[in-house]
Amino acid sequence: MTDPDRPIEDVLARFQELLAHSEAPAAPDDDTRNARLAFLRAASVLHLFSLVDLRPDDGRWPSGSAARYLLDDTVPAVGWGAEGLRTLGIEARREGLAMLGSRSAIGKALKANPNRQRTDVQSMLERWAGGETLRPAAMSVAELRAAATLCEWGLPDFLPRQIVDEFSRRRSAVSNFEVLAEGFVGRTTELEQLRKFVGLTPSSFIDRARDFVFGRTVTPLVLFGVGGAGKTALVARFILDFFSNSSAGCFPFMYLAFDDETLDPAEPATIIGAAVRQIELQSGEIEAGDADYQGALLRMTDQLGIYFSTRQRLSGSAVSARSQRERIHELLLLDEKLFVTFARFLDQWSKLAGGRIGVERLPILFVLDTFEEVEFLPDTDLERFWELVDVLRQVPEMRLLIVGRSMPNSAYLAGRVQQLALGDLNRADALELLQRLGVDQASAAYVADHFGTNPLTLRLAARLLRESDGISEIQGVRSQHDGRLQLGAEVIRGQLYRRVLDHIHDPRIRALAHPGMVLRRVTAAIIQEVLAPHCGFGWIDAAESEQLFASLAREHSLVRRDEYGALLYREEVRRPMLALLAADRPDLTRELHRAAARFYAVGSDEASAGEEIYHRLMLGDLEHRVLQRRWTNSIGQRLAAAAEELPPESRAWLASRTRLRLSDAERELAGAAERERIVGHEAVRAFRIGDFESALNMLRNVNPAPDSPLAALHARALLALGQPDLASAVLNEYLATFPPLASSPRLAELLWLAAQSCAQRGDRAEAARWLEQLVPIAKSLPSRLPLLQTLTEQLAILEPGTAGPSRQALAGLLMELDPSETYREAALIRLAMARLGPSPAGPWTRFGPDLAYELLSAVPSWTKEQLAEARAGLASALETASSPQLEGAITLLDPESSDEDTAKKIATTISMAAAEFSHSRLSDDVVDPAAIQALWTIFKAERATLAAATLAGIGQGEENWLRSGSSFEALA
Amino acid sequence: MLEDVEREMLVELLLDAVAQHGRALLLDNMPRALRPNLQQEDDNRILLKRAIEICEEDRRRVDPPVIVTFIIGMRNYTPGSEHRLDQLARRLSVPPPAPSDPYMDLVIRSDIPFIDRNPLRSEVRRLLDPQTPRPILLVNGQRYSGKSFTSRFIDHLARSKALARYCPVEIYPGDTPTMEGIARSMLTTLGGAPAVVVDPMTNSKRGPRDLADDVWRQLTQKNEPCVIIIDGLNPRSANSPSPPQVNAEIADFVLRLGSLVRVNAHIHGHRLLLIDYNASDIAILSQDLRDIGLEEVTATEARTELERLFRGRGRGQDAAQLVDAVMDGLADPLVDLRALGTKCGQMLASL
């Protein structure tokens, strides 16, 4: 027990006693030592073990007592806590194995514990101990990982680590392709074309990689073909063919598919981030040992970090930029620097790979798959992406392979790419595929002749043949198509799938799939309330619906689970079925859509909202009030994949909420509100890429209403183009005609921009008048940030003699501000406090430390002038410090330091000043005024302004469509 | 209260005694009032865990705590492990810190100091704010810089009711984590079935995604925000003392989990805390994460904090002497915060 009156001598004596005890625990006696060793030898040959079950390798110590001797040598094994399994720490493992010494001794030691946990590592150890010759070339990824673990253990005469790592690296890089290329046949011409594209001569493919035909700059290749043609399988086969030839040098490659939700083509940094991650994971010892490569990698990862942190800063209202144009210019420079760093990194990678086989560089293959997802986006979204492609094309030996369903319809690519169209298989290859899939020769010939040679169709036909008694069933499908052989592959597949479904034994599961596939998502409740009544089951209870749900879940070829446990029909099955259902049973299809929409209308979660919107859109029910109420930006992601299913009017509606490309005809179908939103998206994207002229043209053409978000964008485009007079004129007009009952946030934004345009014209008095009008509007908004920003700007615009009330109001506002608002707009709050000054102390005590800590990461990127200002200001502030720690901090501020040192020391000083607030808070003391002065100095040195800002905090009260996507800097 | 690691250690040390003497031994060492709570179990490990849990949960606030008397009673049946059990009992005898602002506490367990680290406290507070715009936090720093104290800090916050629940996965040096193992650990902690099956035919992109979705489903079973912590996968860097434990599957799994946390942050309020993790593996989510690098603590900073700590324990008069004793022999700056932690804990136990 703590006793505050215990004499200090007693406390120190007790402390010394405990210290001595922990530093020099009693030396174990011989028995204890020997017991530990006996358990250690036994444990060292077990990957995982339970201490209570562990038997020593001799019988002198009872099993069950291992914990007493071995606990400190073990660590819990992740994932095996429930079973109480542990593993040995690496030093103990090596000690134990070293005692055993030989492969045969290790084999013998295994016998002490026959009930071993079967893990990959354990199996690999036992195969080796049993005398098997291990061949890394024949190992799976999991086996290679197990082998790498055994290398760590230091087994005698085990495989060399370098070899295991090299195979592991190669195998990991391509393991994903093994599934994708399964059953691949033919395509010899296309494979040859790919080889030529990469620069492999036929002989080099077989023999050595040094015969690459180097091309320096090679035009990107677009590989395109309809769904199911086998595009990804072709790429996978090509890469596997090369990598399976272990004597060849590996050409480096990256493979990204745009159906990955983390990739956003509009923001190429996401592509670069994913590519770098892939390269890092492929890196082995050679990369680790190459200083140039490591340097390039470090620059690359540093640049990525700087990129994202700078973007976070640029997304705030208060920044150092003096105009929107300047803010976006900084962003574009950041993009460019990132692209160039990435290009240089790739070049270094290419050189390193070349060095391995004695050539200057090896080609780098960069595959961008599922490009049709990119094609959904409008051109303004893709400008940065094509900019990245342009930079990558300058990388010597870069081979960019774009894979999609059709030739991209981009002006950028016109005349700048090679094309490789992937059609159906030739007849011979089709027959081979069918035969590999177990179809006899005659049936194969029949299928190829009657259903075409699309690989996906062939696989489906083969499956149907396997599941039926003969060819008669498949002939039945054919007979429905007599004279209609021109039908699309998708319809044929739909027919085939329908037949496949007929083979589901339980008729009710069959019905859940057909016509139930009108729905995208199934739960037990949906079965009970939506599907059962429409699929002819009548009323069923909850238990029965649960049972049906569980049965459907077992049909893995039809469904997969989503993150909430619901079943999603697989797209490749559902898409063709849906087309058929809509054509064959239109009434039932519509009724199911209606029932599903009704079902989801009462759900409050996002999945329900998304599905309700989906079913309404499928019905063409564009009831704006309902759709708008249910919409959130993340629903856009849920619905993007369904865009192709929607009728044109619904597509136009969806496009107005997301970033979907529309044809001119579809655009015509959009209502006025939708068209306005579509223009809004494109204008914001034009802002993001610095194309303010285009933005202005788009906005002028729609002639925005005063209470439309486009009105503010219109004025901002003019301000960004350096036309404050024109901006003032249009804003005056918008404000003069602003409807009295329209949205307050819209009005607030226009007033703010009116003040900004006057300030840019040098008319401070007029700017002050607009701000004065803004104050009561800002007060009425739900967030405190608009008012805070207005008052902050008043302190800069008003003459010091007249700013008193604003100052007082700002100080009061800071005391009632919700801390969470500081997380979104930290720089704005710092600017407010910088303009407010060090008095009163209240806001500093409340927010000073957290805002200062938030600033620490930005200090290293400050300019020389900022650092000098901060250093001098801090030195001056700390001269009056009364707290000993702050007094000491002044010694850190040596004027002779380098910029890097200065930044580091300034950051330390900021931390110390901020810590002073915590100390005083805990001890109920008054904060040392020097600490407030120090933070004030630093906040001023940040040099933020609001000259490039729109009004913060108005997003909560407005439609959220404008904030979709990631163009935060354009909106800030 | 026991930490997870201590609880596991205690189970290992006592399990053999329970195997030999059965439930009667556990009952003998529990207060009479609590005995009816311990039902018979076939599995000794489960039985023992339940007994420890009952002793820990005792709300009667007796002195010494029930868990301490339980450990002291059991020590007689664990020859060779007495020293370790004594240490544990001693630690548990130190009363926990008085309730205050849990984010500012200097002692986050009965004897573990959490000194300085104000920027980290600020980041954790920000992470746990329901309105935070960035629901992922990455904590990196040099070896022994106290990164893993972040987990303990989260544990401390949970005990102080500042957050509802958390799900820690700690990877220790020597272990060879797999994606399935990490998922299994999470599922077990979250109360789900620990069986983790990845279809071998699933391609290596789909597998991590499906497993992360499994974990997410379990996570969302309860309508309470949860902090998922993954500690010890080690970044790939030239100066990293330990080999990286991340393979492509684990990285994809973590990324998918991060994406789910990000997209659903405003709905479920779950958070992801990555300690010792490669920043570029999660760079794609950078718009939604904050990262913090822990710097070394100077001796001056440590002294100031320790003085405050000892003053808070009623030792205002001789705090400086106590600090001198703790800091004696430690480097400046402190390169190994574990040493400071151990000595500080011993001093607290001596007060």
CA distance to partner chain B, nearest, from residue A458 (Å): 20
CB A160 within 8 A of CB A186: no
Q: Is the pLDDT of residue B297 over 80?
A: no
Residues in A closer than 8 angstroms to B19, CB to CB, are 52, 64
- Please report the DSSP string for A941-959 in residue order: HT--BSTT---TT-GGGS-
CA-to-CA distance for A812 and B124, rounded, in angstroms?
A: 27
Q: What pLDDT score does B282 carry? A: 85
B49 touches chain A (CB under 8 A): no
For chain A, the average pLDDT equals 84
CB A113 within 8 A of CB A46: yes
Nearest residue to A789 (alpha-carbon basis) of A829, A826, A817: A829
Q: What pLDDT score does A60 carry? A: 82
CA distance to partner chain A, nearest, from residue B105 (Å): 9
Residue showing tokens 């029932």: A595
Q: What pLDDT score does A815 carry? A: 92
What count of other Cβ atoms lies within 10 Å of the Cβ of residue A772?
16
Residues in B closer than 8 angstroms to A90, CB to CB, are 173-174
Q: What pLDDT score does A277 carry? A: 84
Q: What pLDDT score does A205 carry? A: 46
Query: A50-80: per-residue pLDDT in tens?
Result: 998 899 888 788 888 888 888 989 998 998 8
Q: What pLDDT score does A215 carry? A: 57
The verdict on a CB contact (< 8 Å) between A304 and B280 is: yes
The verdict on a CB contact (< 8 Å) between B350 and A15 is: yes
Which H, E and C letters describe A410-440, residue by residue? CCCCCCCCEEEECCCCCHHHHHHHHHHCCCC
| B:318-347 residues touching chain A, CB 8 A cutoff | 318, 321-322, 325, 342-343, 346-347
Per-residue pLDDT band at B7 (split at 50, 70, 90): confident
Helix, strand or coil for residue B334? strand
A152 touches chain B (CB under 8 A): yes
Nearest residue to A248 (alpha-carbon basis) of A287, A283, A200, A293: A200
Residues in A closer than 8 angstroms to B16, CB to CB, are 52, 64-65, 67-68
Q: What residue type is A265 in one-letter code?
A: P
Closest residue in chain B to residue A35, using alpha carbons only: B80
Query: A196-239: per-residue pLDDT in tens?
Result: 888 776 555 444 444 455 556 788 899 998 777 888 889 988 88
Q: Is the pLDDT of residue A960 over 60?
A: no
A6 touches chain B (CB under 8 A): yes
Q: What pLDDT score does B142 carry? A: 74
Lowest mean pLDDT among A14-18, B9-13, B283-287: B283-287
Cα–Cα distances in angstroms (integers) from residue A947 to residues A545, A653, A772, A778, A954, in the given order: 61, 35, 17, 18, 17
| B:208-247 residues touching chain A, CB 8 A cutoff | 210, 212-213, 216-217, 220, 236, 238, 243, 246-247
Q: What pLDDT score does A484 carry? A: 41
Q: Is the pLDDT of residue A923 over 70?
A: no
Query: A307-328: per-residue pLDDT in tens?
Result: 888 888 888 888 888 888 888 9
| A:91-120 residues touching chain B, CB 8 A cutoff | 91-93
Pairwise pLDDT comparison (A958 vs A837), residue with the higher score: A837
A818 touches chain B (CB under 8 A): yes
Q: What pLDDT score does B201 carry? A: 47
Pair of tokens at residue A668: 């015509």
Residues in A closer than 8 angstroms to B350, CB to CB, are 11-12, 14-15, 18
What percentage of chain A reaches a pLDDT higher than 90?
A: 30
Q: What pLDDT score does A221 carry? A: 92
Q: What pLDDT score does A766 carry? A: 95
Task: Give the containing element (helix H, strand E) for A31.
Answer: helix A30-43
Best of B4, B125, B167, B176 to disrupt the A interface (most A CBs within 10 Å) is B176
CA-to-CA distance for A588 and A582, rounded, in angstroms?
A: 8
Residues facing B293 on adjacent strands: B140
Q: What pLDDT score does A616 carry? A: 92
Size of interface A-B (CB pairs under 8 A): 269
Residues in A closer than 8 angstroms to B220, CB to CB, are 564
Residues in B closer than 8 angstroms to A87, CB to CB, are 174-176
Q: What pLDDT score does A718 carry? A: 95
B197 touches chain A (CB under 8 A): no
Residues in A closer than 8 angstroms to B318, CB to CB, are 8, 11
Name the most confidently modeled range: A203-212, A797-806, B188-197.
Answer: A797-806
* β-bridge pairing B289-294 and B165-170: unpaired
CA distance to partner chain A, nearest, from residue B213 (Å): 4
Query: A410-432: per-residue pLDDT in tens?
Result: 778 777 888 999 888 888 888 88
The verdict on a CB contact (< 8 Å) between B118 and A914 is: yes
Per-residue pLDDT band at A362 (split at 50, 70, 90): confident
Q: Is the pLDDT of residue A614 over 50?
A: yes
A904 touches chain B (CB under 8 A): no
Query: B110-168: per-residue pLDDT in tens?
Result: 556 666 678 888 889 889 888 888 899 999 887 767 777 788 888 888 877 778 889 99
Q: Is the pLDDT of residue A332 over 50?
A: yes
Helix, strand or coil for residue A833? helix
Query: A74-124: per-residue pLDDT in tens?
Result: 998 998 888 889 999 988 999 999 999 888 899 899 988 988 998 999 999
Per-residue pLDDT band at A335 (split at 50, 70, 90): very high
Task: Give the containing element (helix H, strand E) for B168.
Answer: strand B165-170
A807 touches chain B (CB under 8 A): no
Name the most confidently modeled range: A37-51, A533-547, A957-971, B112-126.
Answer: A37-51
Best of A6, A563, A892 to disrupt the B interface (most B CBs within 10 Å) is A563
Pairwise pLDDT comparison (A775 vs A243), residue with the higher score: A775
A897 touches chain B (CB under 8 A): no
Best of B188, B280, B296, B298 to disrupt the A interface (most A CBs within 10 Å) is B280
Query: A714-737: per-residue pLDDT in tens?
Result: 999 999 999 999 999 999 999 999
Pair of tokens at residue B224: 């309470």
Query: A773-800: per-residue pLDDT in tens?
Result: 999 999 999 889 999 999 999 999 998 8
Backbone angles phi, psi at B275, to 5 degrees: -110, 130
Per-residue pLDDT band at A571 (split at 50, 70, 90): confident
Helix, strand or coil for residue A33? helix
Q: Is the dihedral of CA B311, B312, B315, B317 positive or negative?
A: positive
Residues in B closer than 8 angstroms to A2, CB to CB, are 94-95, 313-314, 348, 351
For chain B, the average pLDDT equals 82
Q: Is the pLDDT of residue A482 over 50?
A: no
Pair of tokens at residue A776: 């009561």
What percentage of chain A reaches a pLDDT higher than 70?
A: 91
Q: Name the percent of chain B in helix, strand, coil, to the closest 5.
A: 50, 10, 40
Q: Which of A52, A71, A820 sits opposite B19 (nearest CB)?
A: A52
- Please report the DSSP string for A206-259 in residue order: HS-GGG----SS---EEEE--TTS-HHHHHHHHHHHHHT-TTSPPPPEEEEETT
CA distance to partner chain A, nearest, from residue B238 (Å): 8
Q: What pLDDT score does B107 carry? A: 66
Q: Which of A8, A854, A918 sits opposite B321 (nearest CB)?
A: A8
- Report which DSSP code applies to B248: H
Pairwise pLDDT comparison (A579 vs A389), residue with the higher score: A389
CB A75 within 8 A of CB A87: yes
Q: Which of A80, A288, A915 sits opposite B181 (nearest CB)?
A: A80
The verdict on a CB contact (< 8 Å) between A277 and B123 is: no
Q: Is the dihedral of CA A119, A122, A126, A132 positive or negative?
A: positive
Per-residue pLDDT band at A486 (split at 50, 70, 90): very low
CB-based burial, A641-679: b 16+ in 10 Å, e otherwise: ebbebbebbbbbbbbbbbbbbbeeeebebbeeebbbbbb
CA-to-CA distance for A882 and A876, rounded, in angstroms?
A: 13
Helix A842-855 × helix A826-836 angle, to 10°: 130
Q: What pLDDT score does A284 carry? A: 67
Q: Which of B19, B118, B351 sits opposite A918 (nearest CB)?
A: B118
Read off the pLDDT of each residue in A836-858 and give the average, rounded to a whole number.
Answer: 91
Residues in B closer than 8 angstroms to A273, CB to CB, are 280, 283-284, 286
Read off the pLDDT of each residue in B99-113 and give the average, rounded to a whole number.
Answer: 67
CB A258 within 8 A of CB A403: no
